[in-house]
Amino acid sequence: MSVLAGKNTKVLVQGMTGTQASFHVRRSLDYGTDIVAGVTPGKGGTTHLGLPVFNTVKEAVAATDATASLIFVPARSVKSAVAEAAGAGLELVVCISDKIPVRDMLEVRNILKNGKTRLIGPNTPGLITPGEARLGIFPENIHTPGQVGVVSRSSTLTYEAVLETRRAGLGQSTVIGLGDDLVIGMNFVDVLSEFMNDDNTKAVVMIGQMGGNFEELCAEWYAASPVKKPVVCFVAGNSQAFSATVGYAGDIITRGRITAEDKKKKLAAAGIIVVEQVNRIHEELQKLRL
């Protein structure tokens, strides 16, 4: 069992022929991911990494029944790539590409607003269901199949969270990096509700960060959720200095000033287990006796 993608998910790759994409797609294939096709406009009819390449997502879907897309295209092509994937009716899009203009992401979210396509990312390590499927760039050797769902805004802290589950002697059901660009696709609430409905997931590790109010919304949602599996959470960015140097100035005025401290208080009040340091996560997981 897994959330969003597992061993039965047929995946196509948009922008598969680039160097970095080839490197990671090959590793994902070796991992056992059911990658069935590549899409590169102008290279339709060729093969790459032993996979057929199509000109359009529609053609690739018609030939392979793929339901998910993994995107590696250059930043300036991301908007049209996601729009094409959504237009072809794909259920899941995982966008690894980074440096995407915020305006493009605003338009992408507008395109996805009323459809069924769900977007993870951009600028994310992606999604991995250990032992089943790797849709992204995760270092696969740190993962083991298990019962802890992991969701994180920060890419690198995703790996840290996975290592913490390992330190607790546990594996992961599915690991999802949300990405931390100004505008992203799925957020904590979207992913947590998947984990709450997944029989195999017994607990969740969540990594938040200063900026935006994703964590507050998550706290409200969790407080009201009928299913409450334990969630262990770390929020990065306590130092006040951060909001001035690395934060988005618009946050303060669009939502009021929200510090990591405020976030932690709200999460704890909602019943989420909040740790002060990322390397304390394993202790809380052990206490859960999963």
Partner 1 sequence: MNIHEYQAKRILSGNGIKIPKGKIAYTADEARRAAKAVTARGPWMLKAQIQSGARGSGRFLEAKAGSRSGIRMVSSLRDLGTEAEAMLGSTLVTRQTGPRGKQVSRLYVEAYTKVGFTFYAGMAIDRVQAAVTLLLANTRDDDINTIAESAPGQILRLPIDLVTGPTHAQTGRAAEFLKLQPRSYDSFYAFLRGLFKTFMANDALMIEINPAGVMKNGDIIALDAKISLDDKALFRHPEHERLKDDDETPPRELKAAKYGFTYHEFGGSIGCIVNGEGLAMAMTDMVRDSGSGVACWLNVKGGVDRDKVAAGIKIIVTNPRVEGIVINILGGFVRCDLIADGIIDAAAEVGMNIPLVVRFEGTNRDEAESILQRAGLPLVMAHNTDDAVNKILQAVREGE
Indicate the residue type of 174. T
Beta carbons of 261 and 238 less than 8 angstroms apart: yes
Phi, psi (rounded to 5 degrees) for 16: -80, -20
Span 186-215, contacts to partner 1 by CB under 8 A:
187, 207, 209-214
Closer of 59 and 251 to partner 1 (Cβ): 251
Q: In terms of residues, how long is the chain?
A: 290
Closer of 37 and 176 to partner 1 (Cβ): 176
Relative to beta strand 51-54, strand 47-48 is antiparallel
Beta carbons of 15 and 57 less than 8 angstroms apart: no
Residue 105 Cβ, how far from partner 1 at the closest point, in Å? 7
Residue 238 Cβ, how far from partner 1 at the closest point, in Å? 5
Nearest residue to 104 via CA among 115, 95, 91, 114 = 95
Binding mask 133-162 for partner 1 (x = CB under 8 A): ---xxxx-xx---------xxxxxx-xx--
Span 110-129, contacts to partner 1 by CB under 8 A:
110, 125
**Residue 204 token pair:** 């969740």
Among 53, 100, 151, 267, binds partner 1 (CB under 8 A): 100
Q: For residue 287, give the 3-state DSSP assignment.
A: helix
Among 241, 268, 269, 271, binds partner 1 (CB under 8 A): 241
Q: Which stretch binds partner 1 (CB under 8 A): 81-89, 193-201, 223-231, 240-248?
A: 240-248
At 194, which helix (H) or strand (E)? helix 188-196
Among 257, 268, 271, 286, binds partner 1 (CB under 8 A): 257
Span 66-85, contacts to partner 1 by CB under 8 A:
75-76
Half-sphere exposure of 50 (CA within 13 A, CB side): 6
Q: For residue 148, give the 3-state DSSP assignment.
A: strand
Query: Which residues contact partner 1 by CB under 8 A?
Result: 20, 75-76, 98-107, 109-110, 125, 136-139, 141-142, 152-157, 159-160, 163, 167, 180, 182-184, 187, 207, 209-214, 217, 234, 236-239, 241-242, 245-246, 248-257, 276-279
